[in-house]
Amino acid sequence: MVTIPATSMDISATIAKQRAFFATGKTKEYDFRIAQLNKLAQLIKDNDQLILDALYSDLRKPMVEAFGSEILGTISEIKYMIKNLKAWMKPQKVGTPINLFPSSSYIYAEPLGVVLIVAPWNYPFVLTIQPLVGAIAAGNCAILKPSEHTPHTSKAIAKIINANFDPDFVTAIEGGIETNQALLAERFDHIFFTGGTAIGKIVMQAAAQHLTPVTLELGGKSPCIIDSDCDLEIAAKRVVWGKFYNSGQTCVAPDYLLVQKDIKPALIEKLLACVKTFFGDNPQQSADLGRIVNERQFDRLVGLLDEGKILIGGQSDRSDKFIAPTIIDQVSQNSKIMAEEIFGPILPILEYDQLSEAIAFVNAQPKPLALYFFSKNKKHQEKILQEVPFGGGCVNDTIMHLGNPELPFGGVGNSGMGSYHGKSSFDIFTHRKSVLRNSFRLDLKWRYPPYTMSLETLKKFIN
């Protein structure tokens, strides 16, 4: 395995070599891109147990969850890219106005160059590799920075990438804060960052020094609104699944419930039943519940348990980084738990009377990364979709919008900048180069001085 020391000098040298490799034009070739995507897919398949073991060591991820979200999701993205890449790479002919006759107009998909991908710890494999898929498909060189907070997965990624790819094309660099700082001090052609809003601001500030474009996949408090006209049985299952998947450490997890007050008691009863059905009477013994990533996050989450009325859960074990799936009622809108993204297995419940109240409450907060609305009422569905800004979401489900490569994934405002998945992943790492092709066959003299067309004649074109 190739080991790359994370010093400023070595990082600068690595970037210089990648720029030189990109300048050869190799990465622009269709066959090269397809070969690298196929190689990446095969490497993931060949190393699936290494990846699963690493995810278990870092987050105690249940194998089914880990395989579905981290491995299957990545392979599906690669397959989608391979299927569509030839069409996406072709120059796109667009319309040309009659006054530009006889020219024609095209848009060329041009790779950006050398890109940096900085990944988070909650889905440490897929959120490192899935952006890489887009970068490769678009014809770029890339440097990966896996999260130091999930060291086993970081090592697995570095082993897979650095032992099998030319470092002048793609390489993974491990390290902590100093490595991140050294990377961000360099000039890249694009930076793709997934993580918290506070760090996102630091990344954007560093990128501004070089006028480097950025994609920021951040987070926020994603609301889940439950209407009175709803199948409570199914809603409860989908809410509990979406909230406690990966122990709530999901950027698009339902952060809090806004429940119509008339159905609140019935919904709570079904929510509690689902938690017991999914994780048993002793969730710490459940094979289907992961763990909090580290003690720092554990301590932060435990500090949120002293507000409201705990309906189920609340148990914790610091030595095991375990926090039980917890549902809390009687939470104040101004409480600490409502002031920050929870990012853990704690679900507060608020209530509303009229749907307009719920909409007003959500719109008074920063724009969320996701929103979920459960209702059979089509007018209510449309009201939510038209009146509430959010990155993406579901009607009558949670999280599942991430599984469709046709849907761009990204935030808005504080929850992010730019989107990816599927064609959007290709686009985010591509410059759309506009080209007008003219002919020598016809050369109209009116465009050249001395001008013979009168101003009155020219004004007719705007009527």
Catalytic residue positions, numbered: 217, 251
Strand partners, 423: none
d(CA 313, CA 327): 7
d(CA 274, CA 259): 17
What DSSP element (H or E) covers 78? helix 73-89
* SS3 (DSSP) at 70: helix
d(CA 369, CA 387): 15
d(CA 446, CA 454): 10
Phi, psi of 390 (to 5 degrees): -160, 165
Which tokens sit at 456?
Answer: 């009155």
What DSSP element (H or E) covers 172? strand 170-172
d(CA 69, CA 78): 14
Query: What torsion do the CA atoms of 174, 179, 180, 181 make, to the nearest 10 degrees?
Result: -170
The secondary structure of 308-371 as a DSSP string is SEEEE---EEGGGTEE--EEEES--TTSGGGTS---SSEEEEEEESSHHHHHHHHHTSPPPSEE
d(CA 223, CA 362): 7
Which tokens sit at 452?
Answer: 């013979």
Count the helix, strand and coil residues of the chain and give each as a percent rounded to the nearest 5.
45, 20, 35
Strand partners, 215: 192
Tally: H helices and E strands in the chain = 16, 20
d(CA 221, CA 414): 10
d(CA 337, CA 303): 9
d(CA 115, CA 190): 5
